[in-house]
């Protein structure tokens, strides 16, 4: 890792904070987190949301709900020090911190519960009660007592059939842990990678208003207790990319971008130049290119018919300029992209490969990539495969599995894989990928 200078303050800062967790994915964590944020914003509070684990889609919706960018917290990928720094800085600037957990509360290693324990976060459990009665209380009891040191704030029932059902659920619960209920509403349409994107929901604010109205009728609307957040030594990165311009594809097809990755590039000294391939923008005059993931399959026609980009990219690589392509950014560099409806479109042809969209999840999980300077951490999550005879330069490693990770391809100045990298996990390796 790079050496850093540090600065540390010793003043702890209190701020109301709450982790919204659940027994499993699909229980309604995002719905409740967004609704709580909107409710408290309507009360005039400044709200900061964090998302546990690697995720791009939920944070887009939560950014709208909170009015501020959503950063990720993960003890493995992000690291404890940066998680602590994010929380402390949020406590200094906001009136409320909300953290949306990932999967089930105790799922994964490390889990959302590990994060809550590490930073003393109170936990609210969102439980899908649509097909249960007294078992709701048993689930809440289990979540509360499975880890005795966990600060369990209470439980909210989701997808409740009506007032009678809600009364039955409440009657089984200790009064201090029942925080209310939400009806059987499904406010967010979904697709293969997750929720629809905010720009696809023209009535998003009305949906948030309806949620906040329902939340305001229950104890879940109250401010959670304050947590004292400690400062941490803040790294000052060496400006390894000083004077270098990094072009970044950024639009509806290339939207899987961690805000912290942009902050890392800027801290390394890079000037960031954004362009939209779907709008047929030309490739900017830059020194390096990052093609992040996103939804190229939803915009394949516009990407396929870009009038200049394929030629510009071939010229770029011939000049030895670095290209970093992640997941969807790699698919558009293939020769063709086959869509789930059976159609096949030509892509930009930098990789001797065919990209194929599937109807089932192909891979998911935390992974790390080491290209010689040390491991860059990240994750993989995709519904596609790459059909190629290209030999991988190396393979990513999975942090929690004995199975081999994703293939990493290198062809001249191009580096491509399915792994979404967390740049701050190894800034020097990131800078090297972009030509430092």
User: Looking at the structure, do residues 212 and 141 belong to the same domain, yes or no?
Assistant: yes
The pTM of this model reads 0.92
User: Looking at the structure, do residues 356 and 384 belong to the same domain, yes or no?
Assistant: yes
Tell me the percentage of the chain whose pLDDT exceeds 90. Answer: 83
Q: Can you tell me the distance from the alpha carbon of 49 to that of 55, in angstroms, rounded to the nearest whole number?
A: 13
Residues facing residue 246 across a β-bridge: 272, 288
189 located within any domain = yes
What is residue 233's predicted lDDT score, i.e. its pLDDT?
Answer: 82
User: Looking at the structure, do residues 257 and 216 belong to the same domain, yes or no?
Assistant: no
Task: Retrieve residue 203's tokens.
Answer: 């009535």
Please give the mean pLDDT across all residues of the chain: 92
For residue 266, the domain's CATH number is 3.40.50.880
> Which runs of E-coded beta strand occur in 295-413?
323-326, 336-338, 344-346, 353-357, 363-370, 375-382, 384-388, 394-398, 404-411
377 located within any domain = yes
| Residue 171 contacts residue 137 (beta carbons within 8 Å) | no
Tell whether the model's pLDDT for residue 176 goes beyond 50: yes
7 located within any domain = no
Task: Retrieve residue 150's tokens.
Answer: 């966990």
Helix ranges restricted to H, 309-425: 309-318, 328-331
Q: Can you tell me the distance from the alpha carbon of 268 to that of 410, in angstroms, rounded to the nearest whole number?
A: 23
Structural domains of the chain, count: 2
Residue 118 class from Cβ within 10 Å (0-12 exposed, 13-18 middle, 19+ buried)?
Answer: middle
User: Looking at the structure, do residues 301 and 378 belong to the same domain, yes or no?
Assistant: yes
For residue 135, the domain's CATH number is 3.40.50.300
Cβ atoms within 10 Å, residue 185: 14
User: Looking at the structure, do residues 306 and 175 belong to the same domain, yes or no?
Assistant: no
Cβ atoms within 10 Å, residue 321: 20
Q: Can you tell me the distance from the alpha carbon of 300 to that of 292, in angstroms, rounded to the nearest whole number?
A: 15
| Residue 425 contacts residue 378 (beta carbons within 8 Å) | yes
Which helix (H) or strand (E) segment is 158 a member of?
strand 152-160
In the structure, what pLDDT confidence band is assigned to residue 5 with cuts at 50, 70 and 90? very low
What is residue 10's predicted lDDT score, i.e. its pLDDT?
Answer: 63
Lowest mean pLDDT among 106-110, 197-201, 307-311: 197-201
133 located within any domain = yes
3-state secondary structure of 90: helix
Q: Can you tell me the distance from the alpha carbon of 414 to that of 317, in angstroms, rounded to the nearest whole number?
A: 7
User: Looking at the structure, do residues 24 and 110 belong to the same domain, yes or no?
Assistant: yes
User: Looking at the structure, do residues 25 and 173 belong to the same domain, yes or no?
Assistant: yes
Task: Retrieve residue 252's tokens.
Answer: 């509806």
Cβ atoms within 10 Å, residue 412: 13
What is residue 194's predicted lDDT score, i.e. its pLDDT?
Answer: 57
Helix ranges restricted to H, 268-306: 300-304
3-state secondary structure of 421: strand
Q: Can you tell me the distance from the alpha carbon of 91 to that of 93, in angstroms, rounded to the nearest whole number?
A: 6
Residue with tokens 């190229």: 296
User: Looking at the structure, do residues 211 and 293 belong to the same domain, yes or no?
Assistant: no
Active site residues: 327
What is residue 394's predicted lDDT score, i.e. its pLDDT?
Answer: 95
Phi, psi dihedral angles at 144 (to 5 degrees): -75, -40
| Residue 224 contacts residue 16 (beta carbons within 8 Å) | yes
Of 246, 286, 255, 251, which Cα lies nearest the Cα of 433?
Answer: 246
What digits encode the pLDDT tens for the residues 343-388?
A: 999 999 999 999 999 988 888 899 999 999 899 999 999 899 999 9
Task: Retrieve residue 7's tokens.
Answer: 């600065």
Domain end residue (candidates: 229, 257, 281): 229
3-state secondary structure of 294: coil
Cβ atoms within 10 Å, residue 217: 10
Domain span at 255: 245-433
What digits encode the pLDDT tens for the residues 239-283?
A: 999 999 999 999 999 999 999 999 999 999 999 999 999 999 999
57 located within any domain = yes
Q: Can you tell me the distance from the alpha carbon of 401 to that of 405, in angstroms, rounded to the nearest whole number?
A: 9
Residue with tokens 């406590």: 91
User: Looking at the structure, do residues 225 and 267 belong to the same domain, yes or no?
Assistant: no
User: Looking at the structure, do residues 171 and 304 belong to the same domain, yes or no?
Assistant: no
4 located within any domain = no
50 located within any domain = yes
237 located within any domain = no
Q: What is the DSSP letter of 104?
A: S
Q: What is the DSSP letter of 283?
A: P
């Amino acid at each position: 890792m790079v050496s850093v200078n540090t600065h540390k303050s010793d003043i702890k800062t209190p701020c109301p904070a709450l982790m919204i967790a659940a027994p499993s994915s699909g229980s309604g964590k995002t719905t409740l987190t967004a609704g709580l944020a909107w409710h408290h914003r309507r009360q005039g509070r400044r709200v900061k949301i964090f998302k546990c684990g690697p995720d791009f889609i939920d944070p887009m919706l939560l950014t709208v709900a909170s009015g501020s960018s959503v950063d990720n917290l993960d003890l493995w990928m992000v690291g404890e020090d940066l998680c602590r720094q994010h929380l402390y800085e949020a406590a200094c600037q906001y009136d409320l911190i909300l953290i949306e957990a990932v999967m089930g509360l105790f799922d994964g290693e490390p889990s959302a519960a590990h994060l809550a324990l590490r930073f003393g976060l109170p936990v609210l459990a969102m439980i899908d009660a649509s097909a249960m009665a007294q078992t709701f209380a048993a689930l809440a009891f289990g979540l509360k007592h499975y880890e005795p040191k966990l600060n369990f704030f209470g439980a909210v029932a989701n997808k409740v059939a009506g007032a009678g059902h809600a009364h039955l659920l409440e009657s089984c619960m200790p009064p201090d842990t029942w925080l209310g209920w939400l009806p059987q509403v499904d406010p967010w349409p979904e697709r293969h990678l997750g929720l629809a994107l905010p720009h696809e929901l023209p009535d998003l604010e009305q949906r948030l208003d309806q949620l906040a109205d329902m939340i305001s009728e229950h104890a879940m609307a109250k401010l959670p207790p304050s947590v004292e957040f400690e400062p941490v030594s803040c790294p000052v990165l060496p400006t390894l990319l000083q004077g270098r311009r990094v072009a970044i594809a950024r639009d509806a097809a290339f939207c899987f971008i961690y805000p912290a990755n942009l902050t890392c590039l800027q801290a390394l000294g890079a000037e960031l130049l954004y362009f939209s391939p779907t709008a047929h923008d030309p490739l900017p005059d830059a020194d390096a290119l990052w093609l992040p993931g996103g939804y190229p399959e939803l915009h394949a026609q516009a990407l396929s018919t870009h009038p200049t980009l394929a030629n510009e990219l071939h010229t770029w690589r011939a000049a030895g300029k670095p290209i970093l392509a992640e997941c969807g950014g790699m698919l558009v560099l293939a020769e063709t992209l086959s869509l789930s409806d059976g159609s096949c479109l030509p892509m930009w042809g930098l990789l001797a490969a065919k990209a194929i969209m599937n109807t089932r999840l192909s891979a998911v999980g935390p992974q790390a990539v080491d290209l010689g300077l040390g491991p860059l951490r990240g994750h993989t999550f995709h519904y596609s495969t790459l059909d190629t005879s290209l030999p991988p330069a190396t393979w990513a490693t999975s942090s929690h599995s004995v199975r081999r990770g994703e293939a990493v391809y290198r062809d001249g100045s191009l580096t491509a894989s399915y792994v979404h990298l967390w740049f701050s996990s190894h800034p020097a390796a990131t800078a090297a990928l972009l030509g430092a």
